[in-house]
Amino acid sequence: MNARLTMLFSSLLLTGSIATGQDAPVVDSPLRYEFRDDHDPNGIGKFYMGREIARVMGHQGIAWLERPEREEEEGLTLLMKLLDLKPGMVVADIGAGSGVISAMIARRIAPNGTVLAVDIQPEMLDALRHKSKLAGIDNIEPVLGTTKSPRLEQGAVDLVVMVDVYHEFDFPFEMLSAISDSLKVGGRVAFVEYRKEDPRVPIKEVHKMSEAQVKREATIPELNLRWKETLKELPRQHVVVFEKLPAPAGPTSPAADE
């Protein structure tokens, strides 16, 4: 093989453009995530769509989740009303922690409803199991997720709830993609996040999210989600709700039109 042909062959290998009777596969080359040395000390230095991802609160922070003043600060009882829960629903509580939110939901969707309490920390799920048993709640199913997937059955969930956790996901795109897959058509996903727009909210900045940022991240076409409503009645958080759309129709074959 002469030098010119060698260079051409090498170029085709690098670009993936060797003719095979089909178009070469399209590679998603742009990186979704950016890493910066200069970042918020409460973040991990990893950025997604311009937002720094916050550090995950470990199981050592269970006391914070269960603090008695949380009802006053976050309006959890009001949140339950805003979520429009119904008996018999399948609800996934992503980042369930020790189960504060899961327990509240479980009581409202009983007797035939199920809460899928997802967390990536086994210690959190151990605490959740213990507290559920003490409270006599038997319709919570603990699920050990990963940083990229909640590990839920596809098309099985009516509502996904994420209370103050989405901003801590190491892989938000991958998680949202898996969450969307788990929803029934018409199912909802609710982001409950501290309002970044309000400087009076006494939470570290990297642990807040603006409504605009949530919408930006959740309405990527591949996720197949559509904004439904934003509820602003809570003291410090907004509830940004999206619904699952039907899968887009595939291309119609010529034979189907004949």
Alpha-carbon distance 159 to 81, whole Å?
Answer: 14
pLDDT tens-place string over residues 173-224? 999 999 999 999 999 999 999 999 999 999 999 999 999 999 999 999 999 9
**Banded pLDDT at 248 (limits 50, 70, 90):** confident
Q: Looking at 13-22, 42-51, 78-87, 127-136, which range is the least confident one?
A: 13-22
Superfamily of structural domain 69-244 = Vaccinia Virus protein VP39 (3.40.50.150)
pLDDT > 60? residue 25: no
pLDDT > 50? residue 14: no
165 contacts: CB under 8 Å, gap ≥ 6: 94, 95
**Banded pLDDT at 23 (limits 50, 70, 90):** very low
pLDDT > 90? residue 7: no
Q: Crossing angle for the helix pair 122-135 and 100-109, nearest 10 degrees?
A: 50
Percent of the chain whose predicted confidence (pLDDT) is above 90: 83
Q: Where are the domains of the chain?
A: 69-244
pLDDT > 60? residue 128: yes
pLDDT > 60? residue 2: no
Residue 12: other Cβ atoms inside 10 A:
13
